[in-house]
Structure 1
Amino acid sequence: MQSAATYPAHWEADVVLADGATAHIRPIRPEDADRLVDFYARVSDESKYFRFFAPYPRLSERDVAHFTRMDHVRRVALIVLVGDQMIGVGRYDRVTDGIAEVSFLVEDSHQGRGVGSVLLEHLAQAARERGVHRFVADILPVNRKMISVFSEAGYTVDDHFEDGIVHVEFEIVPTDHSLHVTEAREHRAEARSIQRLLRPQSVAIVGASRSAGKAGQALVRNIVGNGFTGPVYPVNPEAVAVAGVPAYPSLTDIPAEVDLAVVAVPAVSVGEVVLQCAAHGVKGLVVVAAGFAESGNEDGRRRQAELVRVARANGMRVVGPNCLGIINTDPAYSLNASLAPIVPPPGRIGLFAQSGALGTAILSDGAARGLGLSTFVSAGNRADVSGNDLLQYWRDDAATEVVLLYLESLGNPRKFSRLARDVAEVKPVVAVKSGRTTQGVPTGHTVRPIEVPEAALDAMFRQSGVIRVDTIPEMFDVAQILAYQPLPAGNRVGIVGNSSALCLLANDAVLAAGLDVGCEPVDLGVAASADAYRHALGDLASRPEIDALLVMFTAAVDASRGEDVARVLAHSSETSGKPMVTTFLGSRGVPEEMRKLDEHGVPQRGSVPSYPSVEEAARALAHVTGYGTWRRRRHGQVPAVGGVDAAAARALVDSLLAASAEDTVELAPTDVADLLQHYGVELTPMTPAPTLDDALAAMKRFGTEVVLKATASHLRHRPDLADVWRNIDTADEMRDAWETMSRTLADPADAGFVVQPMAAGGVPVAIWGREDPMFGPVISFGISGVATELLSDRAYRIPPLTDVAAAEMVREVKAAPLLFGYRGGIMADVKAVEDLLHRVSRMADDLPELAAIELNPVLVGEEGVAVVNAAARLSRLAPRPDWYARRLA
């Protein structure tokens, strides 16, 4: 526990309020005295009465000192700031062990913005850190707003009326319901914060230039030329007009409200512009200027951090810096606040790209294919607005049916996994994550690299329903099907074409992509007419054993037949109800002949995508088929596991860390056994044997066959060393084992010898858990042994595990047949393995300090499992990025 003198800086956070604006929350400090007095003067008499149950027009010096001087343990107060003004305060005072009285006061003009709810979340988080588990409060019955703050927080609230006061009590331990409430509020607030950026009523371009080739000139021309529906305000201190639009010397000279400011001034001047935006009430910033953290120097990193700090403190989100800009093709806005010279037509795809440099190429590729966009955001250095924010917005955006993400880094993978899964349940998400081989982070992105194996990242994407592809062209290949074709009902493909060679290639490509060929490919011959295609496609589409169609057309002699065939393909696609992909004359994208257009000339569902090769078509179709399978299947529930005492485990971890001066603590075997027991896992008994006499005594005490093993981490699972001696039944056998292992391994004191009873035989498996600073907890499973390590034959999942996820983990490793009677082996108790996975998953989820745990080997018999060996390590980690209180990264 921190001392009273320690200021808990980790409680500081930027937050998004209910209306999408940002604010800053932090513990109150003595130097906030004047700020508190000014705040209190702006609060209405009614609100003061609700807080103190009596007229309380002003605070005395003694009051101010009492309310600003906290010990941050028994007395805690958090304030919410917008700019330099305090708009709300929440506090708790401990009344007995584990119980604290909580109260709030929010400035009247800011009530209804969710300030009280945010304060409650952060106060509860702070209280739990300080050992408080229950809040109490006395509220006047007429103070309905405060009553609703408690009742709508998701906790189970006990209240009763006594002596004219409503007395409220509730446990602040997070529950599924309270977490759901917090996540729902976070979703609405962050979606609104992005809506403020993408749907502005007015735009200012700060740094608008009269010189051709300058970013400020291009921005004005793109915004005006694209037909933005609101007023445009170029800002240039030396110009009367820019690109024919009247200009203003500074942003503060604009005589009207400005919703969005696009900033193209040199990096050293951006800080001053942000302050002007704050003074003018601007709601959001797009900073295309470079010269920030991407420069790799300390000045750039400091400048970027200050940009975000000042913007968020004054209610603004930031896209960039060093970005291409944003686009919204909705005719109600027609916003092209970007440097992109080519903008795709309106459509149903939302596109997020972290790279400003690649943004133009990405947009050009999409436009060349005829893929229409609903919205586009280039985040550049991703200093503030990230892919997670766009997922929140696109989740409920009616204009967006498909989400595409080009990601160079993941700032909060755990949150990304949760949000992406929520979106993927209703609309597809396709992601390119660069750095597959390096897991590096681009200069300018202020996040740490992910340390988990690449296979774990792949597993996270699959678990979340995200379609991960390797390249940008492949992302658009998949998007073409998702945007215009229905999801396939299965993985059986019907093939039709006018080339026997192409039909054979298509057959191989479909099988290589992991799909099935539903029937013999239909080769129509090189002279096939449009009618031949019509009859073949009608027949294949009517067959129940066909789920999707792969159609090829190549013009060997007469290319004029292409238009007739294209019309047939378009009609068949519209009427069959089954997805169709083509290799039509080797074209890429959606050929004009096969586009189904709306009244605005925008391709709609029913348009038919084409690929230059059958391999690309089959690969894209396989990705979409996999997503369709994910959408249809049951994802399962997180099961309740009996015999878990999470509170005792928490106490054990706290005591072990408190007893050590080191940041990392390797647990002794007895402590590992105690920790596992708190989660209902029995570790096969073991007794330390530092001497031969100790080993002999242990064997006698167990009274059965025993093993002698080395537990030192540098000796375990070495293929060149025999670290375990089994089936020891007599004193002579123990002496022989002891002497031999002492000679071949190490000095007994260094080897960490222990004696254990012999466990029943079974298939050896292993379960690992680790805590990644960015990723959070990760669980992996594999068959125990050197082959698993050499071949990386592990399955990975992110806790908490559903019953379906645990079952999949056991079955997806390549060596899984060993658990299912391979070559006459036993039918192992797989349900017992799944139960063990759930227990380790729960442990890893509950205890962020559990840096690593390994159960290896676990012997799986026909009935039950025996955990023969286990090791664990604790670490003093920073809080996980997804606390139980909303906060921006």
Structure 2
Amino acid sequence: MDAAPSGPVPYPAHWEADVVLADGATAHLRPIAPADADRLVEFYARVSDQSKYYRFFAPYPTLTSRDVSHFTNVDHHDRVALILLVGDDMIAVGRYERVNRTEAEVSFLVEDGHQGRGVGSVLLEHLAQAARERGMRRFVADILPANRKMITVFADAGYTVDNSYEDGVVHVEFEIAPTGTSLEVMAAREHRAEARSIERLLRPRSVAVVGASRSRDKVGQTLVRNLVLSGFTGPVYAVNKEARAVTGLPAYASVRDIPGDVDLAVVAVPADSVTDVVLDCAAKSVHGLVVVSSGFAETGEPVGRARQGELVRLARAHGMRIVGPNCLGIVNTDAEYSLNATLATVLPPPGKVGFFAQSGALGTAILGDGAARGLGLSTFVSAGNRADVSGNDLLQYWRDDPVTEVVLLYLESLGNPRKFSRLSRAVAEVKPVVAVKSGRSTQGVPLGHTVRPIQAPAPALDAMFRQSGVVLVDTISEMFDVAQVLAYQPLPAGRTVAVMGNSGALGLLAADAAVSAGLDVYGDPLSFGAGATADDYRQALASLMAQPDVSSVLVVYAPAVDASSGDDVAQAVADVVAGAAKPVVGTFQGRRGVHGPGAVPSYPTPEEAARALGHATSYAEWRRRSHGTIPAIEGCDPDAAARVAREVLTAAGERADDGVDLGPEGLRALLATYGVELLSMRPAPTLDAALAALDELGGEVVLKATAPRLRHRPDLAAVWRNIDSPAEMRDAWVTMTQTMADPAAAGFVVQPMAPGGVPVVVRAWEDPMFGPVVSFGVSGVATELLGDRSYRIPPLTDRDAAEMVREVKAAALLMGYHGGIMADLKAVEDLVHRMSRMVDDVPLVRAIELSPVLAGESGLAVVNGSARVAPPAGRQDWYTRRLS
């Protein structure tokens, strides 16, 4: 929207956002409105004289009525103002005013008590995004030299800032296009802020249970009892309007009445009373809420959904994060806190595993399974309806948490898959992330989760997990199986596993299972008979661990009928494993877990042991290898592509809302903006038109049908090649039209003969929830029938594109299979990069498909394709920080 609007610009509701500040508290950002006049006056009265002087370069104690009108009446185009609210109070305002077509002057005013909380950087990010939408490219500002805080905001934003000093004023100028540095700065700030917001929940110094009950069978008493019995190190406050004491604790009628500070409130009151509790907690400056109450969006009713939306809005507006509602609670086993703010009475021991689960109903069973295995947890969060705190937030926290070495995620929905992909990859590079995603086959979403379902195919979701280094498993039990290896054993340095034990039959089963898990077996399984002693195990294991070609060992132990408990064998294995650099797993008397000395993971069957070890090995490989870099691709012009798309939409008028398919010339123009040439194509609805096209194009041409129903026909009846004379064109035309039931609908075109090559197809599209997705496959009926495609989520690294092209089953056809050509894979990868960039850079491009693309020995030819443009679908753009 770089041209002046023809009429009033509607209120830009999509600029509204809940944001997390540097200290972990939340605030609400939105455009200013005329109704904010009184709010602006009250805000200005709280601002110090010094801050006012820095803003206006002169004493300016009060705002006149004309000032107030000017500042609150903006056009949302040339004059934009964003305000930051905590509760009903304005704490900051940032604004820009257009200087010329591409430049605007920017300014900020932050209430003194809220300076140092990262308010200025949040406002700058959102103002820059708004300005980019309005066609501006540059911000300027004049700052007094003494206003060091504001100078720092600009200097630390990651943009290339030009400063000059004249007449006692620092003049600042910078381009506002996102850069690699500015995105890194923003991501780092987002990481620190969101990690801090979770830290405030998991490391409270005091807890209030709102809805504490005197009845043993009530949720409120269970919560109080679990907090006290877990040994929580801070004060626990019971809140009950009618009781004077609960389980020996004094009770208070309201959170407001509690004499001390309250960091965390655990809420177990009826759903229609939760809003009042939120307001009480806000008045008490509570940091966060764990809402175990049900009766919200999980009911599937409009009232419940509205109630959940209001809960989140109120809490965030007052600086608080929410776990839940309809959740099990949270746990921190660190002895400094010993927090069990859940309904679960059985917890795993303290350990190295952080666990996020969206299901409240499954939470107790999940914790019980972990406890039975002896799998130690560092922290646990059950998000229930996941109205606010999500797995993304926990990833931010666990990434730097020194206690957590393995992250487990049970996911029922993904609120922001694009962000999840980015964050999970950052975590997986330093510690393992293991996930179960329910509903992968249907992409369904539970009732309580107010997110849109993902429309991308299930393989695309799986590819996103792999691309991010996440270990994706099918069941919660399998997730724990893998965690046992990753939490208690070193990562394997290779894929070769040695198998040993006292049962030849189990050894063979274990070897077969290892191969099925993608591992290489070292020699034959080592079996030393049912009478093997602890010393036999000790010597054999030590020998295998010393072999340089062995990366891991799978130990089988099946006790004889008259044997002892096998504790001596377990101790022998533990003695060898202690301090070793190679992982060891076992099938030990049918046990599951990490019981006993040495914490060697044990599984009931060899298949489960091998599968867990296979996942750990694949993760270790992913972590060791280079993940590549995002390459610089020349010839990509997002602004030009957006102009082409807007021109098409403008020409379509009212039809544009549903999207518009591009014709051949529109597609050629769009592709040209990203350096891709579409082979010339002339419509040939009649024989005369086909003859004219032959004469115009010259040389050898192709006559073909382009109707979707006729593409990829195995008999190639819709394509006639090597036409170089009018007679051949007449013959081709007559023959093809006679063999088709409806020639008029065939969409005949004439094209120059393309160089030979392997036909491939590249697709890129915008999923309404997932964001941009790109796929690749070898073109043809087999690919369509078998679904032989690879998928990735932009932005792609050079490694992503290379793997994408090579991982389809038909990739051998690009590499000389049965005497075929060696295709130019670099050219194919380049095309994948360009199409993924286009849908990532230009939200107006809803979908694009290039098929067929002939990949030759030197370069490629884009023979045909299609594209659809549509108004932006409200992508969650990560150029600005916001809570989804």
TM-score category by the smaller chain?
Answer: over 0.9
Q: C-alpha distance in 1, partners of 2:287/2:820?
A: 66
What residue number does 1:538 align with? 542
Deviation at 1:657, TM superposition (A): 2.1
8 Å CA contact 1:414, 1:882 repeated in 2: no
What residue number does 2:509 align with? 505
Q: C-alpha distance in 1, partners of 2:741/2:268?
A: 66
What residue number does 1:598 align with? none
Structure 1 residues 794, 17: closer, same or farther in 2, change over 3 A? same
After TM superposition, the structure 1 = structure 2 runs for residues 99-248 of structure 1, keeping only pairs within 5 Å, are 99-248=103-252
Q: Scaled by the length of structure 2, what TM-score is found? A: 0.98
Paired residue type of 1:629: E
Farther off after superposition, 13-22 or 560-569: 560-569
What does the per-residue CA deviation read over 1:537-570, in whole Å, with 9 as the maximum and x for residues that have no partner?
Answer: 1111111110000000011223316111101111
Paired residue type of 1:39: F
Structure 1 residues 219, 561: closer, same or farther in 2, change over 3 A? closer
What residue number does 2:615 align with? 623
After TM superposition, the structure 1 = structure 2 runs for residues 720-869 of structure 1, keeping only pairs within 5 Å, are 722-745=717-740, 750-869=745-864
Deviation at 1:5, TM superposition (A): 4.2
Matched, 1:356 2:360: yes
8 Å CA contact 2:437, 2:474 repeated in 1: yes
**Secondary structure of residue in 1 paired with 2:194:** helix
Deviation at 1:475, TM superposition (A): 0.3
Structure 1 residues 149, 206: closer, same or farther in 2, change over 3 A? same
What residue number does 2:570 align with? 566
Paired residue type of 1:47: S
What residue number does 1:522 align with? 526
After TM superposition, the structure 1 = structure 2 runs for residues 315-326 of structure 1, keeping only pairs within 5 Å, are 315-326=319-330
**Secondary structure of residue in 2 paired with 1:357:** coil
What does the per-residue CA deviation read over 1:637-683, in whole Å, with 9 as the maximum and x for residues that have no partner?
Answer: 11112222232222212222222222201011111111111111111
8 Å CA contact 2:163, 2:173 repeated in 1: yes
Farther off after superposition, 288-297 or 830-839: 830-839
Deviation at 1:712, TM superposition (A): 3.3
Q: C-alpha distance in 2, partners of 1:306/1:299?
A: 11
Matched, 1:655 2:647: yes
What residue number does 1:380 align with? 384
**Secondary structure of residue in 2 paired with 1:356:** coil
Matched, 1:29 2:24: no
Farther off after superposition, 740-749 or 360-369: 740-749
Paired residue type of 2:729: M
Q: C-alpha distance in 1, partners of 2:562/2:162?
A: 81
Deviation at 1:713, TM superposition (A): 3.5
Matched, 1:667 2:662: yes
**Secondary structure of residue in 2 paired with 1:213:** coil
Structure 1 residues 764, 5: closer, same or farther in 2, change over 3 A? closer
Deviation at 1:689, TM superposition (A): 2.1
The count of corresponding residues between Structure 1 and Structure 2 is: 877
301, 317, 328: which one pairs with 2:305? Answer: 301
Q: Scaled by the length of structure 1, what TM-score is found? A: 0.97
What residue number does 1:683 align with? 678
Matched, 1:642 2:634: yes
What does the per-residue CA deviation read over 1:783-841, in whole Å, with 9 as the maximum and x for residues that have no partner?
Answer: 10010011010111111211111111111111111111111111111111111111112
Matched, 1:694 2:689: yes
73, 83, 100: which one pairs with 1:79? Answer: 83
**Secondary structure of residue in 1 paired with 2:362:** helix
Q: C-alpha distance in 1, partners of 2:135/2:286?
A: 41
Q: C-alpha distance in 2, partners of 1:766/1:577?
A: 45
Matched, 1:871 2:866: yes
Q: C-alpha distance in 1, partners of 2:565/2:370?
A: 28
8 Å CA contact 1:691, 1:748 repeated in 2: no
583, 588, 597: which one pairs with 1:584? Answer: 588
8 Å CA contact 1:491, 1:625 repeated in 2: yes
Q: C-alpha distance in 2, partners of 1:805/1:585?
A: 43
What residue number does 1:312 align with? 316
8 Å CA contact 2:9, 2:77 repeated in 1: no
What does the per-residue CA deviation read over 1:49-93, in whole Å, with 9 as the maximum and x for residues that have no partner?
Answer: 000001111000000000000110110000000000000000000
Paired residue type of 2:150: M
What residue number does 1:448 align with? 452
What residue number does 2:883 align with? 888
8 Å CA contact 1:258, 1:280 repeated in 2: yes
Structure 1 residues 234, 772: closer, same or farther in 2, change over 3 A? same
Q: C-alpha distance in 2, partners of 1:816/1:721?
A: 22
Farther off after superposition, 554-563 or 619-628: 554-563
What does the per-residue CA deviation read over 1:416-454, in whole Å, with 9 as the maximum and x for residues that have no partner?
Answer: 000000000000000000012211000010001111111
After TM superposition, the structure 1 = structure 2 runs for residues 87-98 of structure 1, keeping only pairs within 5 Å, are 87-98=91-102
What residue number does 1:390 align with? 394
What does the per-residue CA deviation read over 1:595-642, in whole Å, with 9 as the maximum and x for residues that have no partner?
Answer: 4xxxxxxxxxxx200000000000000000000000100111111122
8 Å CA contact 1:530, 1:561 repeated in 2: no
Gaps of 5+ in 1: 596-606
After TM superposition, the structure 1 = structure 2 runs for residues 442-521 of structure 1, keeping only pairs within 5 Å, are 442-521=446-525
Q: C-alpha distance in 1, partners of 2:18/2:789?
A: 38
After TM superposition, the structure 1 = structure 2 runs for residues 400-419 of structure 1, keeping only pairs within 5 Å, are 400-419=404-423
Q: C-alpha distance in 2, partners of 1:220/1:744?
A: 79
252, 255, 261: which one pairs with 2:259? Answer: 255
Paired residue type of 1:613: T
Deviation at 1:747, TM superposition (A): 5.4
After TM superposition, the structure 1 = structure 2 runs for residues 547-558 of structure 1, keeping only pairs within 5 Å, are 547-558=551-562
What does the per-residue CA deviation read over 1:125-181, in whole Å, with 9 as the maximum and x for residues that have no partner?
Answer: 111111111101010011100001111001000110011111111000001110111
Paired residue type of 1:813: V
What does the per-residue CA deviation read over 1:373-424, in whole Å, with 9 as the maximum and x for residues that have no partner?
Answer: 1000000000000000000000000110000000000000110000000000
Deviation at 1:882, TM superposition (A): 3.2
Farther off after superposition, 574-583 or 282-291: 574-583
Paired residue type of 1:672: L
Matched, 1:424 2:396: no
Structure 1 residues 362, 46: closer, same or farther in 2, change over 3 A? same
Q: C-alpha distance in 1, partners of 2:709/2:72?
A: 53
Farther off after superposition, 545-554 or 857-866: 857-866
Q: C-alpha distance in 2, partners of 1:68/1:490?
A: 64
**Secondary structure of residue in 1 paired with 2:796:** coil
Farther off after superposition, 571-580 or 451-460: 571-580
Q: C-alpha distance in 2, partners of 1:846/1:716?
A: 30
What does the per-residue CA deviation read over 1:746-798, in whole Å, with 9 as the maximum and x for residues that have no partner?
Answer: 65653332210011111111111111111111111111001001101011111
Paired residue type of 1:877: P
Paired residue type of 2:44: Y
**Secondary structure of residue in 2 paired with 1:789:** helix
